[in-house]
């Protein structure tokens, strides 16, 4: 057997260098792989950012088209795509006058928070939770320092670590309602609650544009009445916002067409009207699987904008 001590120093250095070389090669290989992953990640991010930018440009194109008051629901211009379908936009038109403005009912004299309580109860909230949500919404926008029976004022918000609230002013956006103490049960019961509210339209709910959920939960119609009314008001083409839509002169005429009972007529008088228009434009732009959604609320005649000019009331992107 060879004695390691008899091996020359040069041979020993060579023997020790080989593992170090192999280790260095492995380290450099790992660094190269890591850098390749980082560079690939950067490239992917840049590619995604480019697609997102292009998707936003497409969504803006849809907004530009739908801003024209002459463009109506069902118009082919509201959908556009390139030859292979990889890029384009799709626009959905709605009308905010058919949604519930909490300020219109909470700020009335006397206030009508009871109508909101009824809505929350229809969504499955127990009476005490519905009372708390309705009272707290009222207290949020009421400048008085006095708390409602089930509501919340400054001391309650301070105790919850949210000093400086409530503002004692009308809601500026529907999203602000989620900041109200006692509103969480509403969010849990109805995660899509936001689509029922607006602050762009100042009046009562426009019965000619109210969605099914508002007709049933807020206006007091039965599901079958709501479905029949939507079919009737949309006209033969079945599309809301086109020339063949139903025209009614007043709320009483609409109630007769719905077949409303005496109790329902009273509820309709308290919650609804048949005038107004505030166009909601939801434009979805897409580019190779990436989407960008822009929602714009525009006054188009009626109480909010009688001159029928372009008047942007709200803008959001996601």
CATH of the domain at 166: 1.10.40.60
4 assigned to some structural domain: no
Rg (CA), the chain: 30
* 158 shares its domain with 216: no
The per-residue pLDDT string of the chain (318 residues; one tens digit each, 9 = 90 and over) reads 555 555 566 555 555 666 666 667 766 766 767 666 666 555 556 577 888 999 999 999 999 999 988 899 999 999 999 989 899 999 999 999 999 999 999 999 999 999 999 999 999 999 999 999 999 999 999 999 999 999 999 999 999 999 999 999 999 999 999 999 999 999 999 999 999 999 999 999 999 999 999 999 999 999 999 999 999 999 999 999 899 999 999 999 999 999 999 999 999 999 999 999 999 999 999 999 999 999 999 986 544 444 455 688 889 998
Given this model, what pLDDT does residue 306 score? 46
Spatial separation of the C-alpha atoms in residues 145 and 29, rounded to whole Å? 69
Domain boundary among 164, 192, 220: 192
Tell me, what's the pLDDT at 292?
95
pLDDT for position 37: 60
| Model confidence pTM above 0.85 | no
Same domain? For 164 and 229 the reply is no
Cite the beta strand spans of 163-214 per DSSP E: 205-206
Give the separation between CA 149 and CA 131, rounded to whole angstroms: 9
CA 215 to chain centre: 19
Q: Which of 135, 165, 192 is the last residue of a domain?
A: 192
| Total structural domains within the chain | 3
Range of the domain at 305: 56-96+279-317
Residue 123 is assigned to a structural domain of this protein: yes
**Per-residue pLDDT at 305:** 43
Greatest C-alpha distance within the chain:
114
Question: Does residue 111 sit in the same domain as residue 186?
Answer: yes
Question: Tokens in use for 42?
Answer: 């950067």
Angle between helices 113-122 and 127-141 (to 10 degrees): 140
Closest listed residue to residue 280, CA positions, set 84, 63, 133, 4: 63
């Amino acid at each position: 057997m060879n004695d390691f001590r008899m091996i020359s120093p040069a041979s020993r250095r060579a023997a020790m260098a080989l593992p170090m070389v192999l280790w260095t090669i492995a380290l450099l290989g790992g660094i190269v792989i890591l850098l390749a992953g980082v560079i690939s990640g950067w490239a992917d991010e840049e590619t995604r950012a480019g697609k997102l930018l292009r998707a936003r440009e497409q969504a803006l194109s849809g907004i530009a088209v739908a801003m024209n008051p002459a463009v109506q629901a069902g118009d082919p211009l509201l959908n556009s795509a390139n030859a292979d379908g990889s890029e384009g936009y799709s626009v959905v038109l709605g009308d905010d006058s058919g949604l519930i403005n909490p300020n219109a009912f909470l700020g009335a004299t006397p206030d009508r928070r009871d109508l909101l309580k009824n809505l929350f109860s229809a969504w499955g909230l127990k009476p005490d939770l519905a009372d708390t949500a309705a009272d707290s919404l009222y207290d949020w926008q009421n400048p008085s320092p006095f708390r409602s029976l089930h509501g919340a004022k400054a001391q309650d918000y301070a105790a919850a670590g949210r000093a400086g609230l409530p503002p004692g002013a009308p809601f500026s956006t529907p999203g602000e309602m989620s900041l109200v103490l006692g509103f969480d049960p509403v969010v849990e019961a109805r995660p899509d609650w936001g689509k029922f509210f607006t602050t762009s339209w100042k009046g009562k709910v426009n019965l000619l544009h109210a969605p099914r959920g508002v007709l049933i939960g807020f206006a007091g119609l039965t599901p079958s009445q709501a479905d029949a009314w939507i079919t009737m008001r949309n006209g033969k083409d079945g599309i809301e916002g086109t020339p063949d839509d139903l025209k009614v002169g007043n709320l009483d005429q609409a109630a007769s067409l719905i077949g409303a009972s005496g109790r329902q007529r009273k509820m309709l008088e308290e919650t609804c009207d048949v005038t107004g228009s505030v166009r909601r434009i939801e434009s979805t732009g897409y580019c190779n699987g990436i989407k960008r959604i822009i929602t714009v609320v525009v006054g188009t005649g009626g109480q909010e904008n009688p001159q029928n000019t372009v008047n942007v009331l709200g803008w959001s992107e996601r």
